[in-house]
């Protein structure tokens, strides 16, 4: 205690005087103003159930910080929800809002020179945005996962929001009635919190813990459960200690910590979106880590130890009861960097010393895995010189090699219409292009196309390649997504013409355009300017398109 805090200014100075005038009017005492000043980063919103409970969490966190000798200030950020915010601009506001969150936090916390942060993580982009901000600002930070939503039942069967996602595609393909879909939406969600599966939200909550930035044993957790409230109290106590001890994120987010997080993702077949988010966090931390390279390196070394819905049949509640992220890390213990420090002030190894996996059928040991075949693959090839990503079904052990003629779509709606009218044929490769970071801009959200494909009965009978974004869980057909460089950057995807042969080889981890180089050179001379579609466009997405970096840089913002 007694360390000089950056939030305390020399008495009599203008910053001191102006703060004192404001904060005295808020009812704070001179004694309060000497305490560690902690930001509670809250993305509360009434638009989606992901966020509606966060105001109460923020209040309880404030009480915990005050009781521990700190001074808490709640700040707000943008609150994107895939199911609500994805309807505008072909979903371009989803990925791009991650970086708004980072900058929201920087403005409030760095501008005010606060001493630490507790970040309330909820839907998909809040956790990565908060981790990126922690890495950038490098002040003591804890990420607190605020839980998954309780699910419901439909005709005696479990149903959740991920099922609604799939069945909406079935309705679009004419395989399900509007009445049935409507009835499903009545019961799928039974309370606040994020999607109750190993989607990007729960994946990034687990990544936060594996990275060392969330308290051990805190992920996943049912929203508003007693365990969540206990973590809120402990985080409020711990963040004050971290400020006094000057325990900073860049001391925690080391290359070894990133390796631990990648191994956790592979062991759980978590969301593919974790790849770009971890790369972005590493860039913000100025940590020399190639996350895409780590996924390539460890894909064949880390076995699959669990399969939470919709990857498998395990419910998130069962995964939590078996021990969650900490139990996965216990099973991976011999493969982890156990000396990596965490926000608990202990090392990863010390956090695992007394851990017992409650159910080794739910979370398997290394010598009894679900599978040794990787389900997340980073691929390359003539169509993806700088990487693309494949997510395979957990139980699918077929030797995957798919070649077929290209059928091209540059409109999400047109692709869905073609599927519903039976125009897409077995054996084809759907090319969905112009949906990348710059082309959309902000990454086109194309999961509805994939689910419409499933509804049309074409799962496994066609393949898809795209520079756009799909749910990090999509594995119902052979799909290569987030191809880099994207079409709008002049990538090979822009050169594809109707009928061109495309080959995806999972075993070789390649995706290739089977067109002679001299023909490609001819096409490059008349390449389409996808970005020209946005000439004269204004607003956030126009700014984003101009400054976003490629996927290999984590899609961060820069020059």
> What is the C-alpha to C-alpha distance for residues 491 and 50, in angstroms, rounded to an integer?
36
471 is catalytic: yes
Alpha carbon 248 to its chain's center: 23
Residue 517, Cβ density class (10 Å: 0-12 exposed, 13-18 middle, ≥19 buried): exposed
> What is the C-alpha to C-alpha distance for residues 435 and 414, in angstroms, rounded to an integer?
14
Strands 429-432 and 463-466 turn out to be parallel
Which residues are bridge partners to 379 per DSSP? 388
Which residues are bridge partners to 120 per DSSP? 144
The per-type count for the chain, helices as H runs and strands as E runs, is: 21, 14
DSSP state of 210: H
What lies within 8 Å, CB to CB, of 279 at 6+ separation is 289, 290, 291, 292, 552, 553, 554
Torsion angle in degrees (nearest 10) through CA of 188, 189, 190, 191: 170
Alpha carbon 428 to its chain's center: 30
Please answer whether residues 310 and 303 qualify as being in contact, where contact means their C-beta atoms are separated by less than 8 angstroms. Answer: no
DSSP state of 333: G
Q: Hey, how many other C-beta atoms are within 10 angstroms of the C-beta on 415?
A: 26
Alpha carbon 231 to its chain's center: 22
> What is the C-alpha to C-alpha distance for residues 492 and 336, in angstroms, rounded to an integer?
38
> What is the C-alpha to C-alpha distance for residues 8 and 140, in angstroms, rounded to an integer?
16
- Give the active site residue among 68, 208, 371, 471: 471
Strands 71-76 and 37-42 turn out to be parallel
The distance in angstroms from the start CA to the end CA of the chain is 41
Which residues are known catalytic residues? 471
């Amino acid at each position: 205690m007694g360390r000089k805090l950056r939030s305390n200014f020399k008495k009599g100075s203008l910053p001191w005087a102006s703060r004192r005038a404001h904060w005295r009017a808020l009812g704070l005492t001179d004694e309060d103003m000497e305490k560690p000043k902690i930001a509670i980063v809250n993305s509360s919103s009434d638009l989606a159930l992901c966020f509606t409970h966060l105001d109460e969490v923020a209040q309880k966190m404030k009480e915990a910080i005050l009781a521990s000798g700190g001074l808490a200030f709640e700040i707000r950020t943008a609150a994107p929800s895939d199911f609500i915010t994805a309807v505008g601009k072909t979903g371009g506001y989803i990925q791009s809002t991650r970086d708004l969150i980072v900058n929201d936090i920087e403005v409030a916390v760095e501008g005010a020179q606060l001493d630490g942060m507790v970040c309330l993580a909820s839907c998909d982009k809040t956790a990565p945005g908060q981790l990126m901000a922690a890495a950038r600002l490098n002040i003591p930070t804890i990420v607190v996962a605020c839980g998954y939503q309780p699910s419901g039942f439909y005709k005696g069967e479990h149903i959740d929001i991920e099922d609604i996602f799939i069945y909406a595609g079935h309705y679009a393909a004419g395989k399900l009635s509007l009445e049935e879909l409507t009835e499903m939406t009545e019961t799928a969600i039974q309370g606040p919190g994020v999607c109750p599966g190993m989607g990007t939200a729960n994946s990034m909550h687990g990544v936060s813990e594996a990275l060392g930035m969330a308290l051990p044993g805190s992920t996943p957790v049912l929203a508003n459960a007693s365990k969540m409230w206990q973590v809120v109290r402990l985080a409020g106590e711990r963040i004050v200690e971290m400020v006094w001890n000057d325990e900073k994120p860049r001391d925690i987010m080391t290359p070894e910590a990133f390796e631990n997080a990648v191994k956790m993702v592979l062991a759980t077949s978590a969301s593919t979106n974790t790849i770009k988010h971890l790369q972005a966090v590493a860039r913000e931390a100025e940590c020399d880590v190639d996350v895409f390279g780590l996924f390539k390196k460890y894909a064949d070394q880390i076995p699959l130890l669990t399969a939470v819905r919709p990857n498998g049949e395990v419910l998130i509640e069962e995964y939590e009861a078996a021990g969650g992220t900490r139990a996965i890390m216990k099973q991976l213990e011999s493969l982890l960097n156990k000396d990596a420090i965490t926000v608990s002030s202990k090392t990863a190894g010390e956090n695992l010393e007394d851990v017992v996996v409650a159910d080794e059928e739910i979370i398997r040991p290394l010598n009894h895995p679900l599978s040794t075949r990787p389900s997340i693959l980073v691929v390359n090839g003539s169509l993806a010189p700088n990487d693309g990503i494949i997510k395979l079904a957990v139980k699918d052990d077929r030797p995957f090699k798919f070649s077929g003629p290209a059928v091209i779509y540059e409109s999400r709606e047109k692709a869905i219409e073609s599927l519903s009218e039976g125009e897409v044929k077995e054996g084809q490769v759907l090319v969905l292009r112009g949906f990348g970071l710059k082309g959309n801009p902000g990454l086109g959200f194309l999961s509805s196309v994939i689910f419409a494909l499933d509804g049309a009965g074409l799962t496994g009978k066609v393949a898809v390649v795209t520079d756009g974004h799909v749910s990090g869980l999509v594995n119902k057909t052979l799909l290569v997504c987030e191809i880099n460089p994207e079409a709008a950057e002049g990538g090979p995807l822009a050169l594809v013409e109707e009928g061109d042969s495309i080959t995806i080889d999972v075993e070789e981890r390649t995706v290739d355009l089977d067109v002679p180089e001299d023909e490609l050179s001819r096409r490059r001379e008349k390449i389409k300017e996808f970005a020209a579609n946005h000439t004269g466009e204004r607003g956030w997405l126009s700014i984003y398109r101009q400054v976003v970096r490629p996927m290999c840089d984590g899609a961060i913002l820069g020059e």
